[in-house]
Amino acid sequence: MFSHVLSTTFLALVASAVAVSATPSLSIKVTGEPTVAGVDKLIVKTTITNTADEILTLLNHPESPLNKLPANTFTITHATGITATFTGIKAKYVPAKAIAIGKDAVTALAPGQSIEVEHNRKSSDKLFHTVSEAYAFDKEGEYNIVSNNRFYFINAQKEAVPIYATSEAHTVTLTGKLAVRHPTQIKRATYSGCSLSRQNSLVSAVSGAQTYAADALSYLLSHTSSSTRFVTWNSSHRTLTIAHALTPVHMPTFTLTTMAKSTSAAPSGMLHLPAQTPRHSGTLIHESSHFIVNGGTEDYVYGQSDAKSLARSNPDKAVLNADNHEYFAENNPAQN
């Protein structure tokens, strides 16, 4: 009897130890030059290490340090406590679709394996430093650069599960030039890197997006906050904010690229689209709402189900969530 109890206890302890050892874990370290003369020369590297005992398959999320896009990947703070303002792109990213894409959208790390990512990108013959593209620096001096430490690994059920890495920051002293030149904002749609057929598809999508926006704005001005359609996506009355986001004053520059598997928008008015992007007017509503002149929305949640839940639980966030604007404008399935 005593021997049986010992055996059972031993097996339970072994099972517990195996479960603990199988817990996914990561570390991330930011490195770079200690002193940089000019923000256009500011390059950092991130080293992501699998510190677990099993292979981890990680999504290349736009805001993950695995991605080279000028997204909100870092928190950059001056020695005085002032945080560099994020001015980069915001991406519509659906993990389930990325998982379906497979190896081109993920990074697999064996136990103990590391991957180093230098945060710059090459477009044609020009090298862009994504930190200087994505952030505005107000003054010279010492900056602390901390990477976003949230990753998503794919579990056995093919689900995206968040994981938080232990993080090591980088400190850099910045002198000289503090800004890079960004394109001047324009009021009509222009196209870069697009074939004629792609341009035609985008022209149609732009027209559809403008129709969505005009119809949604008309609806807002003729209905109250108690309508089913309004309550579904916004819950409380924020007509002025929504109307502002749905007024298409500034049309974007479209760039077709094979860099990413997501659609992204820069506050300055440029949309970056994967070459296989379908003709989708709703996506243009979503991304255009990110532009500061159209509302400056965020990506708090994705998908109709989560957008509806957000409207119920946190209407202040829902009114600033890009997907809520998209679904309100599309009105599919139709609501009164």
Residues recognised as catalytic: 287
> What does the alpha-carbon distance between residue 84 and residue 75 come to, in Å, rounded to a whole number?
8
Contact status, residue 165 vs residue 273, Cβ threshold 8 Å: no
Residue where the block lists tokens 């910045």: 174
- Is 274 strand, coil or helix? strand
- Residue 120's alpha-carbon distances to 108, 114, 172, 226, 324, in angstroms, are 21, 19, 17, 48, 32
Residue count of the chain: 336
Phi-psi region of 81 (alpha: psi -120 to 50; beta: other; left: phi over 0): left
Residue 210 in tokens = 């403008």
Sheet holding 253-257, edge to edge: 90-92, 263-266, 270-274, 253-257, 190-192
Positive or negative, the CA dihedral 110, 115, 121, 125 is negative
Would you call the peptide bond into 333 cis, given omega within 30 degrees of 0 as the criterion? yes
Question: What does residue 328 show for φ and ψ, rounded to 5 degrees?
Answer: -60, -45
> What does the alpha-carbon distance between residue 166 and residue 126 come to, in Å, rounded to a whole number?
34
What count of other Cβ atoms lies within 10 Å of the Cβ of residue 263? 22
Contact status, residue 100 vs residue 173, Cβ threshold 8 Å: no
- Residue 66's alpha-carbon distances to 118, 124, 322, in angstroms, are 9, 22, 24
> What does the alpha-carbon distance between residue 20 and residue 1 come to, in Å, rounded to a whole number?
29
132 Cβ contact list (under 8 Å, min separation 6): 39, 40, 42, 180
> What does the alpha-carbon distance between residue 37 and residue 177 come to, in Å, rounded to a whole number?
7
